[in-house]
Homo-oligomer: A and B are copies of this chain.
Amino acid sequence: MKTTIAEVGKHVNESVTIGVWLHNKRSSGKIAFLQLRDGTGFIQGVIVKSVVGEELFEQAKHLNQETSLYVTGEIVEDKRSPLGYELQVTGFEIIQEAHDYPITPKEHGPEFLMDHRHLWLRSKKQHAIMKVRNEIIRATYEFFNDEGFVKIDPPILTGASAEGTTELFHTKYFDEDAYLSQSGQLYLEAAAMALGKVFSFGPTFRAEKSKTRRHLIEFWMIEPEMAFMDHDDSLVIQENYVQHLVQSVLKNCDMELDVLERDKEQLEKIKAPFPRITYDDAIEFLKKEGFEDIDWGDDFGAPHETAIAKAHDQPVFITHFPTEIKAFYMQPDPNNEKVALCADLIAPEGYGEIIGGSERIYDYELMKKRYEEHGLEGPAYEWYLQLREYGSVPHSGFGLGLERTVAWISGTEHIRETIPFPRLLNRLYP
């Protein structure tokens, strides 16, 4: 019976064959313990000389790391192992003997590991992060499908961007100039007028020369956009969504969180509604905390976000930022035009901003004024203004950065480990 490590629970006390790689091993005189992995999980294979015979036992003892093999044996319960089962090996067949696998159990530097990302993914920790990432992706679709959202894929190649082209990647599009999208939002607003509640989930690109543990050049973003929903409605969707992500990972990635040594108690606390503090109050709080490098009108940096986050167990919404430091399309607060109906969501434990969102301007005259103020003209922007001309309605939306969210929930210090093949400044390989 062929099976996988993820499925061994269905084959207790049966003999199975599994295609695996040797992850690690140790042996004494008459018994060897093989740490085996097949991608779906890790299992210990126990190989006893008296069972398999001298020749196979000797071969097992000399197997190299990452050698691929078909291993046969009986699945038995083993309460001590994280999986709950082990494999009592009765035989194996080598597919390919590996020699000098570059990533050994010893310590390697980050640049070496990044150069070997195609192999590094096989390690227990990277495997666990990818499984958490996968669960966050799965739970995202589950949440937005259940809420009646329609997936809309905005174009990556666009004629222009609403936020300037300095941080955009440029390519020739036959005879035209095109840029890689930094956000699908403008397109999603058009789609929300057609389909009500929509979301995108795709790669976005920022040609930014920054090199921090929170920045990727290419990253994935979830961008929901909702017709007939105001700023407050949007915050409720956001907190329910983030709560759903955390609960899904807790429920379905328990083993992975253990591998990552994630403090699960921190995650178990996460419960909507999340605290909301205004930008004004945040500035005041920071000043009290002794920050002298921030004044009303400044945007927050990582240390400010971390200080605010540390004051709460929950993710925190910072609302009502000055319109001047936010995007041109954000709806000003009718009670105070100097601030926008917007919020950033700051993750706990210093993982930084994971969501930015706002109500959008829907008044045609105000949007036209913004176009003039920001010098938005020409055919690349005409269509977006038309959304305010033909049955404009109140609407709101937000964007969640996938990798920052993975970093937070999995407890991963550096964002480069949260995406299969990171693109960083000076890192286009492998």
Q: Are A391 and B21 touching (Cβ within 8 A)?
A: yes
B145 x A138 contact (CB < 8 A): yes
Specify the chain B residue showing the minimal Cβ separation from A133: B151
Q: Does A411 reach chain B (CB closer than 8 Å)?
A: no
Q: Check A203 against B39 for contact (C-beta < 8 Å).
A: no
Q: Within A148-193, which residues are at the interface with B (CB < 8 Å)?
A: 148, 150-159, 169-174, 176, 178, 180, 187, 190-193
CA separation between A178 and B180, bound complex, in Å? 12
- Proximity string of chain A (387-408) to chain B, C-beta cutoff 8 Å, 1 when within and 0 when not: 1011111100000000000000
Asked if A96 CB lies within 8 Å of chain B CBs, one says yes
A118 and B386 within 8 A (CB): yes
Which residues does chain B contribute within 8 Å of A193, judged by CB atoms?
21, 39, 121-122
What are 13 of the A-B contact pairs (CB < 8 Å)?
A: A4-B196, A95-B393, A96-B362, A121-B191, A130-B195, A138-B141, A138-B151, A141-B141, A155-B421, A169-B173, A170-B172, A174-B207, A174-B209
Contact A176 B39 (CB under 8 A): no
On whether the beta carbons of A194 and B126 are closer than 8 Å, the reply is yes
**In the complex the two chains form, is B421's CB within 8 Å of A154's CB?**
yes
Contact partner, A429, options B134, B194, B379, B429, Cβ 8 Å: B379
Contact B173 A150, beta carbon cutoff 8 Å = no
| Contact for A196 among B39, B67, B393, CB less than 8 A | B39
Whether A38 is near chain B, meaning CB under 8 Å from some CB there, is yes
A19 interface residue (CB < 8 Å to B): yes
A158 touches B390 (CB 8 A): no
Are A134 and B150 in contact, CB atoms less than 8 angstroms apart? yes
Q: How far is the CA of A159 from the CA of B218 in the complex (A)?
A: 14
A28 at the interface (CB under 8 A from B): no
Cβ of A1 within 8 Å of any chain B Cβ, yes or no, is no
* A359 lies within 8 A of chain B by Cβ: no
Residue A66 at the chain B interface, CB threshold 8 Å: yes
Q: Nearest 9 A-B pairs (CB), nearest first?
A: A39-B196, A19-B228, A121-B194, A68-B391, A383-B430, A118-B190, A66-B391, A122-B194, A39-B195
Q: List, in ascending order, chain B residues with CB within 8 A of A6's CB.
A: 148
Which residue of the partner chain B has the closest CB to A228?
Answer: B19
Which residue numbers of A lie inside 8 Å of B, CB to CB? 4, 6, 19, 21-22, 38-40, 66-68, 95-96, 98-99, 101-102, 116, 118-119, 121-122, 126-127, 130-131, 133-134, 137-138, 141, 145, 148, 150-159, 169-174, 176, 178, 180, 187, 190-197, 202-203, 205, 207, 209, 217-218, 220, 227-228, 362, 364, 379-380, 383-384, 386-387, 389-394, 419-421, 423, 425-426, 428-430
| Least distance between A303 CB and chain B CB atoms (Å) | 27
Shortest A376–chain B CB gap in Å is 14
Q: Give the chain B neighbours of A148 by CB distance below 8 A.
A: 4, 6, 40
What are the residues of chain B within 8 A of A122 when measuring CB–CB? 193-194
**A191 and B420 contact, CB distance less than 8 A:** yes
**Could you say which of B96, B121, B171 contacts A170, with CB atoms under 8 Å apart?**
B171
Tell me which residues across on chain B come within 8 A of A391, comparing CB atoms. 21-22, 66-68, 95-96, 98, 101
Given known A-B contacts A66-B390, A203-B203, A426 and B174 have beta carbons under 8 A apart: yes
In the bound complex, what is the Cα–Cα distance between A122 and B194 (angstroms)?
4
B127 and A194 within 8 A (CB): yes
Whether B126 lies near A150 (C-beta < 8 A) is no
Give the Cβ gap from A200 to chain B, nearest Cβ, in Å.
9
With A and B bound together, what is the CA distance between A159 and B421 in angstroms? 12
Q: Is the CB of A152 within 8 A of B138?
A: no
Chain B residue at minimal CB-CB distance from A4: B196
CB distance from A146 to the nearest CB of B (A): 11
